[in-house]
Structures are given as structure tokens and as C-alpha cells.
Amino acid sequence: MELVAKETGGLLLVQVLERRIDAASAIQFKDRMRDLANRTAGNLLLDMSQVTFLDSSGLGAVVAVMKLLGPGRKLELAGLTPTVDKVFRLTRMDTVFVIHPQLPESLRDAS
């Protein structure tokens, strides 16, 4: 599970460099995200633009990361590809997370 993290403007930008967050990789994703989240105190922005597929295990892992951040910190998402976007909409998770169509312009160079 390759994740690249960069602190920028008080925000931890995490780019997922994997094609799939699925039953085979969800636990690894959650563990790696927990390590990254523990290194910083701010909010997280997850760049999902390289992820072409996410199943219910992957979705559960993203929700678990949000929960482990606690109420004081936020996990926002950016760049959902069509199938991933469909899974978020069908499970109404699009109402739970702030989802940016793409990375905010100010952060594009950072990734």
C-alpha cells in the first residue's frame, strides 16, 4: 500500500498511489493511514485520483480512519474516480465526507 504524505499549510495531504482499496488491501490501508495520522495533529486530505476501485472493505477502512481521527479533526477526500464515486453515492457516504472534485489548486503542486 503506497501512500505519499506531505504536510502543507497545517493539512496533511495523503496521495494514494494504489489502484485498489479492496478486501485484499483495506487493513494495510487503515494501518498506514493510522501511522500517518499519528504523526500530525491537523486535518487530512486524501487524494484518491489514482484509485480506480474501492469495495465495502475499502469504504469501511476510510470510515475507520475518519473515526480514529476523532471529532476534532477532519478527513476530506478529493478526486474520486467514477466507480469509487458510485460506491460513495450508493452508500450515502457522499453526505458524510467533504468530497472535492479534484485537489484544490493551491495543493496540486504539493502532490
- Residues interacting with other proteins, by CB under 8 A? 20, 22-24, 53, 55-57, 59-60, 63, 66-67, 82-83, 86-87, 89-93, 95-96
What is the closest distance, in whole angstroms, from the C-beta atom of residue 95 to other proteins in the complex? 7
The interaxial angle of helices 56-69 and 26-38, nearest 10 deg, is: 20
Q: How far is the CB of 92 from other proteins (least distance, A)?
A: 4
Residues 6+ apart with CB under 8 A from 36: 3, 5, 12, 14, 44
Is the Cβ of residue 13 or residue 58 nearer to other proteins in the bound state? 58
Going by their DSSP bridges, the two strands 75-78 and 53-54 should be labelled as unpaired
In which region does residue 105 sit, left (phi positive, over 0), alpha (psi from -120 to 50) or beta (all else)? alpha
**For other proteins, which is the closer residue by CB, 42 or 60?**
60
Instruction: CB nearer to other proteins: give 65 or 78.
Output: 65
